[in-house]
Structure 1
Amino acid sequence: MKDMKDMKNHSENQDSSGFVKIPDVAGDVILEIRYYSTFNFIGDRIDGYTQPTALLTKEAAAALKAASDEAINQGYRLKIYDAYRPQRAVDHFVRWAKDLEDQRMKKVFYPEVPKEKLFTLGFIAEHSGHSRGSTVDLTLFDMSRGCDVDMGGYFDFFGDISHYDHPDLTDAQRAGRALLRDIMLHAGFEPYENEWWHFTLANEPYPNTYFDLRVE
C-alpha cells in the first residue's frame, strides 16, 4: 500500500486531461475493481470509486496495452484490481486504520497483523503512488485453464507472503510471479518487492502530483 516517493512535494489535482480509462486502450484486460466492491480490507466501497472501471495516465495505459498484448501471446490475460487511486480513497484508508474497533475483514486480509501496527509496518500511509496515476495492481488469468494463476497469495494481503521472493512459495507460484514480473518489466514498469501485484511505470509523467479525480 505504501509508496514514499516524492511524498514531500505532493499536491492534489483535478485535471483529468492526462488520464484515460484502461478498457479504452487495453480492451483485453479483465477488471475486478476491489475498491468499488466491498471485497477489500475495509469491507466497504472506497471513497472516490463511483464506477467499476480503472484509470491510468495515457503513458501508463499505453505501456499496459503492450503488457496485455504480450500476456495474450503467452496464453494469459491481465486482471486489474486497482490502478489510479484518488487521494480521497487514501484518506479513507487512513481513517479506517485509525478506527481500531472496525476489524470486519481481519480474518481475510490481515489475520496476523495487529491493526494498530498497520502504519508503522508500512501497510497504510497518508499518500500512495497510485494517486500519481501510473501504478497498477494486477495478476494473470490463465485462458487455457479458465482461472487466475496461483501466485501463492492474494491481492492486498497484509503479510510477508505478499513479498515477491517469499521463501515458502512453490515452484509453480514462483513461476507465476516471475512471468507477471517479466511481462510488466518488458512493458516499462517497475515492481515493488513487498507486493507481487504492484507495478509503476518507470517514466511516470506526474512523479510529484497526487490527483483526487473520481474513478468514473
Structure 2
Amino acid sequence: MRRGVVLGLVVVLGLVAAVLLAACQRHPPQPPPTPTASAEPRAPADVVALADVDPTIRTDLRYATAHNFVGRPLDGYREPLCLLTRAAADALRRVQATAVEQGHTLKVYDCYRPQRAVDDIVAWARQPGGPDTGPEFHPRVAKSELFDAGYLGAPTAHSRGSTVDLTLVALPAVTSPPAAPGTPPVACTAAQALRYPDDSVDMGTGFDCFDPLAATAATGVPRAARENRLLLRRLMTEGGFVNYPREWWHYRFTDEPYPGTYFDFPITRTSLRR
C-alpha cells in the first residue's frame, strides 16, 4: 500500500513537471526592459538657423569654441550654429540688407543660448580655478564680482531665442588669421591692433569684455569706436532691437515671441523641427 502511494506521487509530480515545462516553452520569461535615455528637448517650430534665413551674415560663435571667458565650449553648444526665432532672424536679415547698403556686414558672436549653458556659466563663476581667462576678458573685474557687477546674468534673454551678440565688419570683408598657438592673452581693453584677431570694425573693446569701457556709451574709447557703436545701435534699433547699455554687442528683439520662456534644447540641427 505504501509503495503504491509513493509511485502515485511520482507519477503526479512527473505530470506537473511536464505541464510546467511545456508552459515555459510556450511563454519563455522575458528580460526586463532596457532603460532608455530621455529624449532631448527640441526647439519650437518657429526657431530656425540664421544661415538658412540669411547666409551672408557672418558668424564667429565663440561659445562653441575654447576662446571665450570660460575657456572651453559651453554645455549645449554642440554645433557652431546661430539659432533664433523666425521673427528675430527675419528682422536681422532686414538689418543686414541695410548694413550692406552702407558698406558693412553683420557678424554674430552668440544667438540662442540653452539654459544648461547658463547653468554652466553660473557653476564656473562659483568655482575657483579653471582656465585663467581674466587677463583677456575681465582684466579689471574679479571673477567673483561678474554677476554682482551686471556682466553676467541668470536667466538670460538669450535663452528665449530672440537675442543676439554681434558686431559690424567693413566690406569687402577680410578674415583675420587666428592667433598663433601660445600667444599670451591681451586685455580686451587694449588697442584693436593688439587684441585677439577679429575682422570687425574697431568697437573700442573686444567681444565679451567685462569692463566699464564695454558700455555702449562709454567715453573712454577712441572716437572712431564710438561712431561704430552708434552705427550698430542705429541699425539695430531701426530693425526692432534694443541694446543692453552695459554691452555694445548685446541686442534683444523687442517683439520677441517668447518673452517669458527660457528654452534648454541643445544647439544642433537635430533640435530644429524643419
Report the TM-score, using the length of structure 2 for normalisation.
0.72
| Counterpart check, 1:100 vs 2:128 | yes
Report the counterpart of residue 164 of structure 1 in structure 2.
216
SS in 2 for 1:136: strand
Give 1:126 shift: 2.4
SS in 1 for 2:62: coil
Report the counterpart of residue 257 of structure 2 in structure 1.
205
| Counterpart check, 1:37 vs 2:65 | yes
Give 1:175 shift: 0.8
Does the 8 A contact of 2:71 with 2:131 survive in 1? no
Give 1:122 shift: 1.8
Matched length: 204
Aligned partner letter, 1:19? V
User: Unmatched 5+ residue regions in structure 2?
Assistant: 1-40, 175-198, 269-274
Matches within 5 A, 1:28-177: 28-144=56-172, 146=174, 147-177=199-229
Does the 8 A contact of 2:114 with 2:263 survive in 1? yes
**Structure with the largest fraction of strand:** 1
SS in 2 for 1:148: coil
Give 1:98 shift: 0.4
Percent identity of the aligned residues?
41
Aligned partner letter, 1:148? S
Report the counterpart of residue 44 of structure 2 in structure 1.
16
Higher relative contact order (CA 8 A, sep 6+): 1
Distance 2:47 2:128 in 1: 35
SS in 2 for 1:102: coil
Distance 1:15 1:82 in 2: 17
Does the 8 A contact of 1:136 with 1:198 survive in 2? yes
Give 1:169 shift: 1.8
In structure 2, relative to structure 1, the CA distance for the partners of 1:110 and 1:103 (3 Å cut) is farther
Residues 69-98 of structure 1, C-alpha deviation per residue, up to 9 Å, x if partnerless? 111111111100001100001001000000
> Which residue of 241, 244, 248 corresponds with 1:189?
241
> Which residue of 216, 231, 245 corresponds with 1:179?
231
Report the counterpart of residue 5 of structure 1 in structure 2.
none
Report the counterpart of residue 10 of structure 1 in structure 2.
none
Does the 8 A contact of 2:47 with 2:84 survive in 1? yes
Give 1:167 shift: 1.3
Does the 8 A contact of 2:113 with 2:159 survive in 1? yes
Give 1:102 shift: 2.6
User: Unmatched 5+ residue regions in structure 1?
Assistant: 1-12
Give 1:103 shift: 4.9
Distance 1:197 1:153 in 2: 10
Which stretch of the first structure deviates more once superposed, 131-140 or 146-155? 146-155
Aligned partner letter, 1:121? A
SS in 1 for 2:63: coil
Report the counterpart of residue 7 of structure 1 in structure 2.
none
Aligned partner letter, 1:136? V
Aligned partner letter, 1:162? A
Report the TM-score, using the length of structure 1 for normalisation.
0.91
Distance 1:139 1:145 in 2: 13
